[in-house]
């Protein structure tokens, strides 16, 4: 059977037709153009699903369901998008609107939760029924899977690991209004600030030279690979922040694995190995067995729409 998965972002919409085994039989990406408003975005979305079915060589009537991931607070039980700042949607009845326009079953979920489900069903988390998925991107996205199912909390408003407090006396105020959120230390934006600070303090370092044309989330990792001590210090401290939060989550959930995605996870083993080692040393020292795996996400930007498709499988 075939299912449509859609990942609506503030800038781009990614979608694909996925079969029961996680094969993507057709896919596309196009600009969201959110200023067009909800109705126009919705109608184009349905038209594009129809053409993806055609591309894949079957009729839209044969499509078994449509799953949609949205960046924001989504009540997936009711199919409602409660709020989505990126798209300027508030209280949108998305699942029902799609159902009414297409006659298909439709489920809607937070985009990070969809990506978590995608990785668990078809990606590097497929050997685990209990995992926590974290995206280290511009912000932090997270999803929790318990016994193969998404855990979303009351009103589906939970599983927001990025807003877990890790520093009571922090001065930085997070986008959520709280202080000392994990996101303020481990997002790509946070790593860029940490790198900029080190550049300012060490203007003669290789890191500073490599950042002449701008700082990205890759800068510190790249300079550390060249042997720069200042950059290595930034990377070590950053990895420490990542591990600190993961240890906190392990104490609450003790999942089988953490799956790390997002731009910074592209650093691969440089990030994953020290996190995994420090986490399991902590577990070992406290006798909190069993060990917990830490792996890189493997579906890239397909995780969102593949997980969205899995919502209706």
CB 220 within 8 A of CB 238: yes
Q: How far apart are CA 266 and CA 270, in angstroms?
A: 9
Rounded to the nearest angstrom, the gap between the alpha carbon of residue 261 and the centroid of all alpha carbons in its chain is 6
Q: Judged by CB under 5 A, which stretch of 30-38, 126-134, 167-175, 207-215 contacts Zn ion?
A: 167-175
Q: How far is CA 44 from CA 31, 87, 107, 263, in A?
A: 11, 15, 18, 29
CA separation for the pair 88, 35 (Å, rounded):
9
Determine if 190 is a binding residue for Zn ion (CB under 5 A): no
Contact between 261 and 140 under an 8 Å Cβ cutoff? The reply is no
* Of 82-90, 156-164, 251-259, 285-293: span binding Zn ion (CB under 5 A): 156-164
Query: CB of 238: closest distance to Zn ion in angstroms?
Result: 18
Q: Does 176 bind Zn ion (CB under 5 A)?
A: yes
181 is a site residue for Zn ion (CB under 5 A)? yes
13-21, 34-42, 125-133, 168-176 -> range binding Zn ion (CB under 5 A): 168-176
95: tokens are 């699942």
Q: How far is the CB of 177 from Zn ion (least distance, A)?
A: 7
> Which of 50, 99, 163, 179 is in the footprint of Zn ion by CB under 5 A?
163
| Residue among 123 and 139 whose Cβ is closer to Zn ion | 139
> Which stretch, 10-18, 38-46, 96-104, 181-189, contacts Zn ion (CB under 5 A)?
181-189
174 membership: H or E segment, kind and range:
none
Residue 270 Cα distances to 207, 211, 221, 266, angstroms: 17, 20, 8, 9
Q: Is 170 helix (H, G, I), strand (E, B) or coil?
A: coil
Residue 174 near Zn ion by CB under 5 A: yes
Sign of CA dihedral 237, 273, 134, 168: negative
Nearer to Zn ion, 3 or 182 (CB): 182
Task: Tell me if 40 contacts Zn ion by CB under 5 A.
Answer: no
CB atoms within 10 A of CB 300: 12
Closest contact distance (angstroms) between CB of 257 and Zn ion is: 25
Q: Restricting to residues 244-303, which ones interact with Zn ion according to CB under 5 A?
A: none
Helix ranges (H only) for 181-268 are 183-186, 188-201, 206-210, 219-225, 229-253
Quote the least distance from Cβ 137 to Zn ion, whole Å: 15
> Segment contacting Zn ion (CB under 5 A): 7-15, 155-163, 188-196, 212-220?
155-163
43 is a contact residue toward Zn ion (CB under 5 A) = no
Q: Where is 98: in which H helix or E strand?
A: helix 94-102
3-state secondary structure at position 29? strand
For Zn ion, which is the closer residue by CB, 117 or 161?
161
**Contact stretch for Zn ion (CB under 5 A) within 1-9, 52-60, 171-179, 246-254:** 171-179
d(CA 117, CA 150): 7
β partners of residue 140: 136
Q: Please, which residue, 144 or 181, has the CB nearer to Zn ion?
A: 181
Structure tokens at 63: 């499509």
Least Å from the CB of residue 302 to Zn ion? 28
Answer yes or no whether residue 186 interacts with Zn ion by CB under 5 A.
Answer: no
Smallest gap from residue 198 Cβ to Zn ion (A): 24
Number of residues that bind Zn ion (CB under 5 A): 5
By CB under 5 A, name the binding residues for Zn ion.
Answer: 163, 174, 176, 178, 181
């Amino acid at each position: 059977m075939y299912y449509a998965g859609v990942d609506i972002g503030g800038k781009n919409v990614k979608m694909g037709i996925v079969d029961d085994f996680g094969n993507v039989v057709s896919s596309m990406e196009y600009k969201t153009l959110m200023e067009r408003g909800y109705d126009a975005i919705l109608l184009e979305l349905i038209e594009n699903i129809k053409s993806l079915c055609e591309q894949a060589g079957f009729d839209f009537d044969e499509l078994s369901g449509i799953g949609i991931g949205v960046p924001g607070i989504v009540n997936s039980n009711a199919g409602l998008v409660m709020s989505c700042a990126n798209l300027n949607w508030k209280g949108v009845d998305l699942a029902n609107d799609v159902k009414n326009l297409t006659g298909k079953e439709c489920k809607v979920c937070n985009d990070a939760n969809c990506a978590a489900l995608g990785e668990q069903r078809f990606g590097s988390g497929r050997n685990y029924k209990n995992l926590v998925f974290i995206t280290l991107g511009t912000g932090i996205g997270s999803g929790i899977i318990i016994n193969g199912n998404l855990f979303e909390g009351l009103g589906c408003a939970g599983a927001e690991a990025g807003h877990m407090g890790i520093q009571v006396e922090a001065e930085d105020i997070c986008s959520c209004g709280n202080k000392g959120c994990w996101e303020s230390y481990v997002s790509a934006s946070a790593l860029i600030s940490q790198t900029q600070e080190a550049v300012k303090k060490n203007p003669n370092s290789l890191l500073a030279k490599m950042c002449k044309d701008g700082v990205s989330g890759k800068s510190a990792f790249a300079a550390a690979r060249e042997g720069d001590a200042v950059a290595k210090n930034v990377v070590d401290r950053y990895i420490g922040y990542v591990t600190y939060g993961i240890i906190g989550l392990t104490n609450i959930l003790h999942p089988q694995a953490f799956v790390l995605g997002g731009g910074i996870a592209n650093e691969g083993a440089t990030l994953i190995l020290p996190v995994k080692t420090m986490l399991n040393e902590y577990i070992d020292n406290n006798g909190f067995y069993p060990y917990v795996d830490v792996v890189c996400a493997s579906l890239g930007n397909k995780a969102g729409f593949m997980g969205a498709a899995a919502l209706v499988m």
